[in-house]
């Protein structure tokens, strides 16, 4: 399904007034011109600049979607605009400005990313954020071992204390801190417990301070990311991480080029260049021995696999044309994608990892320091696959076409129901 199809859905609510959007990400703009209830399903509506979602009708309700401005933050760049004060929003996450929503339209001095760097092991670690919000806001931490106080702040400027509980050396803590008012905004936080490396931030340090509105350039609202968001340092700890699914002590590569955050989208050509790309999952430690298999789905414009041969895994290790291959040499489980030559029928490639077996104790909460590494020669991208608990299957990343350009979305979405549910969603039937 493409972006034109999404607009057609919005234009044609069913008899109950409902519009059900499919899972995926779709580039706007999108215009809502009649009363309806728009319900997403892990749906992201995005645009680099301009307006993503333009609500021109009264009696509109929006549920379960994310809207995102991915480029500049000028006054004319708006994630959600509404011309009516009865627009209802439920479980809507926004990245960017809004217009027409009371309180939400003010200045949000909230960071998008905080890199905590290396912190010491087995001791509490505190850091402070000084934020500005235009409405009463709940602070919800979706990271195990991390707490935020206070959990509720009022309009204006507030200081939030972020506390990391004592954890063992080599642990990676990653996830989001949600700022929830009528809408949700997410700040992605990462910390690596590594006692042998110098700490990038000292305990008690202010890691983010929102600028005053008067400090902002007239045409730009700054998201003020502390440090250099393009180079966050070495991510994988130096304590012999190994390839997922392997029971060896091989060190993973040092990642120096670029690190992705959950939900981030990048151009493959701009980041990895031309030529074949490989994908491999690494980890730092397992609480129990897990056998993690790799599954790659080749999908058409409707995000469906059109035959069983569209699933590349240990039982079918190459696509019919050889542009997608899976290899397992006992040490590495690697997916190789020749993106320049993949047939046009393939519009999206989803790379997933699933834990073999039906032991209820075997899930991704037992895997620590997970990171997906993408390579083209010496150029690399990395994406922490963290924040999972009872899930047994995770979609780590998706490659997708945007015109003639291949892009990558760092997904990190887990499924408790395992591989079968994922396959069914992609139009495949598998045996139990």
Q: Which long-range contacts (CB under 8 A, 24 or more apart) does 248-257 make?
A: 248/331, 250/331, 252/282, 252/371, 252/373, 253/373, 253/380, 255/371, 255/373, 255/380, 255/382, 256/231, 256/380, 257/379, 257/380, 257/381
pLDDT for 159 beyond 90: yes
- Between the two ends of the chain, the Cα-to-Cα distance in Å is 29
Confidence (pLDDT) at 372: 93
pLDDT tens readout for residues 271-305: 999 899 999 999 888 888 889 999 999 999 888 99
**242-425 CATH fold:** Lipoxygenase-1 (2.60.60)
Q: What mean pLDDT do residues 125-152 have? A: 92
pLDDT for 391 beyond 50: yes
Strand bridging mode 113-119 / 146-149: unpaired
Q: Please compute, for residue 412, the number of CA atoms within 13 A of its CA located in the half-sphere on the CB side.
A: 21
User: Residues 6 or more apart from 327 whose CB is under 8 A from it?
Assistant: 317, 333, 334, 336
Confidence (pLDDT) at 20: 95
| Per-residue pLDDT band at 121 (split at 50, 70, 90) | confident
Going by the DSSP 8-state scheme, the letter that residue 233 receives in this structure is: -
| pLDDT > 70 in the chain, percent | 85
Confidence (pLDDT) at 103: 84
Contact 171, 368 (CB under 8 A): yes
Confidence (pLDDT) at 197: 54
Q: Pick the range with the lowest mean pLDDT from 117-121, 154-158, 307-311, 346-350.
A: 117-121
pLDDT tens readout for residues 166-212: 888 878 888 889 999 999 999 888 888 877 655 555 667 888 888 77
pLDDT for 129 beyond 60: yes
Confidence (pLDDT) at 236: 35
Q: How high does pLDDT run on average in the chain?
A: 82
DSSP-derived 3-state class of residue 365: helix
pLDDT tens readout for residues 221-238: 222 222 222 222 223 333
User: Residues 6 or more apart from 326 whose CB is under 8 A from it?
Assistant: 294, 296, 312, 313, 314, 317, 318, 333, 334, 335, 336
> Can you give the length of the chain in residues?
432
Q: To which residue do tokens 């730092």 refer?
A: 284
The burial of 12, by beta-carbon neighbours within 10 Å (0-12 exposed, 13-18 middle, 19 or more buried), is given as exposed
> Domain boundaries in the chain?
3-99, 113-215, 242-425
Which residue has better confidence, 140 or 48? 140
Tell me the pTM: 0.52
Is the previous residue joined to 29 through a cis bond, with omega within 30 degrees of 0? yes
Q: Which of 332, 317, 323, 334 is nearest to 278 (CA)?
A: 334
Going by the DSSP 8-state scheme, the letter that residue 197 receives in this structure is: S
Confidence (pLDDT) at 193: 80
pLDDT for 214 beyond 80: no
**365: phi then psi, degrees, rounded to nearest 5:** -70, -20
CA–CA dist 42, 431 (Å, integer)? 26
Confidence (pLDDT) at 166: 87
CATH 1.20.1530.20 assigned to 113-215: no
Q: Which of 253, 209, 252, 259 is nearest to 232 (CA)?
A: 259
Confidence (pLDDT) at 190: 81
């Amino acid at each position: 399904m493409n972006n034109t199809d999404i607009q057609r859905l919005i234009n044609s609510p069913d008899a109950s007034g409902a519009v059900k959007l499919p899972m995926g990400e779709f580039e706007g703009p999108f215009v809502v011109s009649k009363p309806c209830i728009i319900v997403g399903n892990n749906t992201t509506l995005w645009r680099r600049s301009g307006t993503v979602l333009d609500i021109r009708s009264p009696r509109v309700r929006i549920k379960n979607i994310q809207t995102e401005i991915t480029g500049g933050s000028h006054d004319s760049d708006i994630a959600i605009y509404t011309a009516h004060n009865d627009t209802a929003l439920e479980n809507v996450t926004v990245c960017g400005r809004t217009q027409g929503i009371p309180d939400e339209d003010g200045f949000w001095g909230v960071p998008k990313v905080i890199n905590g760097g290396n912190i010491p092991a087995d001791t509490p670690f505190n850091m402070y954020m000084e934020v500005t919000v235009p409405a009463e806001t709940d602070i919800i931490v979706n990271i195990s071992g991390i707490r935020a106080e206070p959990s509720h702040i009022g309009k204006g400027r507030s200081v939030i204390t972020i506390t990391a509980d004592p954890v063992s050396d080599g642990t990676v803590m990653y996830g989001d801190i949600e700022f929830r008012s009528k809408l949700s905004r997410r700040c992605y936080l990462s910390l690596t417990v590594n006692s042998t490396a110098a700490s990038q931030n000292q305990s008690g340090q202010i890691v983010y301070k929102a600028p005053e509105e008067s400090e902002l350039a007239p045409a730009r609202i700054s998201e003020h990311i502390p440090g250099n968001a393009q180079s966050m340092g070495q991510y994988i700890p130096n304590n012999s991480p190994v390839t997922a699914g392997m029971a060896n002590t091989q060190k993973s590569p040092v990642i120096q080029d670029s690190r992705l955050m959950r939900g981030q989208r990048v151009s493959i050509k701009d980041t990895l260049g031309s030529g074949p790309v490989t994908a491999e999952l690494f980890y730092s430690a397992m609480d129990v021995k897990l056998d993690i298999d790799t599954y790659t789905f080749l999908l058409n414009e409707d995000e469906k696999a059109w035959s069983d041969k569209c699933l590349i895994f240990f039982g079918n290790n190459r696509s019919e044309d050889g542009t997608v291959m899976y290899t397992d040499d006992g040490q590495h489980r690697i997916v190789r994608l020749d993106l320049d030559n993949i047939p046009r029928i393939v519009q999206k490639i989803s790379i997933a990892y699933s834990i073999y077996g039906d032991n209820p104790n075997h899930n991704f909460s037992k895997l620590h320091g997970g990171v997906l590494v993408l390579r083209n020669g010496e150029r690399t991208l990395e994406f922490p696959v963290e924040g999972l608990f009872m899930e047994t299957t995770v979609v780590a990343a998706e490659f997708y076409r945007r015109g003639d350009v291949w892009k990558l979305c760092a997904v990190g979405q887990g499924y408790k129901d395992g591989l079968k549910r994922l396959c069914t969603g992609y139009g495949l039937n598998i045996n139990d």
